[in-house]
Amino acid sequence: MDRRSLLRKLVMTPLLSPAALMLAQEGGVRPAHHGENGFINTDPGFAEAGFDEMAPWIAGKLTDVFSKAPKADIPREVNDGSALREQRPYTVTWIGHSTVLVQMEGRTILTDPVWSTKVGPFKWAGSPRVSEPGLAIENLPPVDIVLISHNHYDHLDEASIEELADRNPNAAFFVPLRVRDWFEDKGIRNVEEYDWWEGGSHKGLKIVCTPAQHFSGRWINDRNQSLWCSWVVTGKKRLYFGGDSGYCSHFANIGKRFGPFDLTLIPIGAYEPRKLMSPVHMNPAEAVQTHLDLRGRTMVGIHWGTFVLTDEPMEEPPKKLAEAAEAKGLNKGECTVMKLGETREW
């Protein structure tokens, strides 16, 4: 095998080790999503909205960061965490937005944990929370694994991470490239950092960082300096966590490599105005297609009903999801949402 073929094989290996990635990079092969000045989206159809298009919309949303949360009727169930502490083999609990607690083969996994009442660069200003978390942070069972999809404030919340780390000193945090430093600055050392298609094992589960179509940044000068991703967790069953993404060709590739998935957690909210949001946020119809691309069996819609981020009504995404699933002829319940605090077996 010649050097170029070897490097290509290394880059395309699903469980790419840090050493293999370094070898490929030293040989002059840069992964396509590693741009000259940060990370980039690689889907051929990706076309980000321009500043002239985004600026008027952003200016119109600025008052939201100082406002109280509007009322929203998001269904919920009372959950004190007692049943979760019994550690059943396979459960999923929606806490809110992209925060989901998954029990899988004796391990407890938490995704993008956010309990704050506002998300933004300042505690006194940010996107307001319209619905209380479905499970109080103090009622969580012991957490083994925390998956972080990217560093936006509604997915990486400082107060929540610090409290989780204090309560779960043995928890392992899995993050995409260049997010580890944020954790280490806070004294959190048990952090695994991966590039797309790279991964490893933890307590009997295989965990792989997989592509998504989005962007990153916590301030005006760090846009796309850290990576965004989705996550695959495999054991006897298979879990996909979508984090936050626009619809793209990556999902079919992930499904081909790692599917079929027993459970997919896919974002369905923050999609209007469509012209501006479609590159980075999928709508419910695209979420259903994503589930199909992944070869999923059961989908739970996330990333809705929690924070005021975009223009669609807070209660709309589940209705659109049901319509899209019906249009695809899917069985009732294959693509669904959960009540806040609800726990289901999967």
Check whether 271 has a pLDDT greater than 70: yes
Q: Which of 61-70, 146-155, 248-257 has the lowest mean pLDDT?
A: 61-70
* Per-residue pLDDT tens digits for 112-147: 999 999 999 887 778 899 999 999 999 999 999 999
Angstrom distance (rounded) from CA 244 to CA 253: 17
What was the pLDDT predicted at 6? 35
Degrees to nearest 5, angle at CA 301 with 296 and 303: 130
Query: What is 240-282 written as a DSSP string?
Result: EE--S----THHHHHHHHH--BSEEEEE-----SHHHHTTT--
pLDDT of residue 8 exceeding 50, the answer is: no
**Domain 51-345 belongs to what topology?**
Metallo-beta-lactamase; Chain A (3.60.15)
The pLDDT confidence band at residue 17, using thresholds 50, 70 and 90, is very low
What pLDDT score was predicted for residue 15? 43
- The residue type of 292 is L
Local structure of 227: helix, strand or coil: coil
Token code pair at residue 171: 């928890």
Residue among 97, 68, 222, 94 at smallest CA distance from 155: 97
- Predicted local confidence at residue 63, as pLDDT: 66
Q: Can you give the pTM of this predicted structure? A: 0.91
Tell me the three state secondary structure of residue 26.
helix
Average pLDDT over residues 276-285: 98
Domain with CATH 3.60.15.10 in the chain: 51-345
Backbone angles phi, psi at 91, to 5 degrees: -135, 155
